[in-house]
Structures are given as C-alpha cells and as structure tokens.
Amino acid sequence: MRRVPEQSDVVIRPIEPVDLDRILEINEANVPEVGSVDATRMAFLLGESPIATAVELDDAIVGFCLVMPSTAPYDSVNFGWFTERFDDFMYLDRVAFDADAQGRGFGTLLYAEVDRLMVEMGGAGHLALEVNVDPPNEASLAFHARRGFTEIGQQDTPYGIRVSMQMRLVGSAM
C-alpha cells in the first residue's frame, strides 16, 4: 500500500481477492469504455495481471487497473493484435473509475504507479493499450495523448467498436 503524498487521502494498493465485487461493479459501470465481464472472467484477469492496482479514497475503492505481460494466456482480440506484432510489452487491459472519481487526477497517479511498478519488476519497456474511437472516448484519447501514447494502428472489433491501438515507452511521458 502506498499513500500518495500530494493527495494524502488517496491510497494506491494491490487488488486483493476481497475486492473482486467492488472491482467488478466499477468495471460494469464503465462499459463500453471497458469490456463487460462476469466475476469468473474478472478473477481470471486479476490472476494474469502482475500489476492489479486499486485506488482508494477515504477507505473505499474508487478505481482500478489491470496490466498483464505479453505472454499471458489471454484471448482478447485487442491483446491478440499486439501479440501478433510485438514480442515484449505490458498490456493495460483495463482502467476504470467511479463517475465521482473521474477528472480528479487519480488516473495520472495510477499511471505513474504502473510505470514505477513496471520498472521495479525488471526494467522499463512498452505499455500497450487501446482506446475506443468509434464510439469515441474523447476524454481517454486526450488523457493518453498527454501521457505520450501514440497510435500505432486501429482495429475493428467483433463487438462493434473501433479502437485505436496505442503504445509508449515507460517513463517517456508523465
């Protein structure tokens, strides 16, 4: 657990099994920006993510992210797009916040923590993710552009959403 110095009421910590219901609730409140999953699928994703981080505000989880290695046995079409083109990267599968927590700088803190953890795990490397472009997620596109992510392609998904495939070198922008 790490208390964020500039926001002493915010704690960033690893997700624990007891958090599953709350993480699932936040995830489902953010569909279609993140994909809908059931509890079994979320437990699988948590198990494959060496970086599975919760953001707490006043002892309540208000957001989370899951980051998995390129070697994960994950059947996501977007993850597959990256694994077909790149050998070594970390994949930010999902990041989501409660509506009341959005726009308060917690995403910036969370991404800084992801960077720190990636370096701690054995070096930097590339962080890959996708952002919806149709329907557009303008806030997420702007957020990721400010953090140095660049589009390396687009993909039409079988679930009817077009996504921007993006990457950046860890520590290259924050």
Is 57 inside a domain boundary? yes
- For the residues of 20-52, what is the DSSP string, one character each? HHHHHHHHHHTTTTS----HHHHHHHHHH-SEE
pLDDT score of 34: 86
Q: How many domains does the chain have?
A: 1
152 domain residue, yes or no: yes
What CATH number corresponds to the domain at position 119? 3.40.630.30
* DSSP β-bridge partners for residue 14: 53
What pLDDT score was predicted for residue 173?
46
Q: How far apart are CA 39 and CA 42, in angstroms?
A: 5
Exposed, middle or buried, 65 (CB in 10 Å: 0-12/13-18/19+)?
buried
- Cα torsion 54, 75, 77, 93 to 10°: value is 10
State both tokens at 160: 């009817």
Q: Is residue 138 part of a domain?
A: yes
DSSP string, 2-17: EE-TTSTTEEEEE--G
Q: Which amino acid is at 147?
A: R
| Residue pointed to by tokens 């994703």 | 45
pLDDT at 174: 45
Range of the domain at 154: 2-169
Q: How far apart are CA 110 and CA 108, in angstroms?
A: 5
For residue 151, what are the β-bridge partners?
166
Q: How far apart are CA 109 and CA 137, in angstroms?
A: 20
125 within a domain of the structure (yes/no): yes
pLDDT of the chain, 174 residues: tens digit per residue: 554 445 568 999 999 999 999 999 999 999 888 889 999 999 999 999 999 999 999 999 999 999 999 999 999 999 999 999 999 899 999 999 999 998 899 999 999 999 999 999 876 699 999 999 998 989 899 999 999 999 999 999 998 999 999 999 996 444
Report yes or no on 129 lying in a domain: yes
- Sheet architecture: strand order including 150-156: 2-3, 10-14, 51-57, 60-69, 90-97, 126-134, 162-169, 150-156
Q: Which helix (H) or strand (E) holds 144?
A: helix 138-146
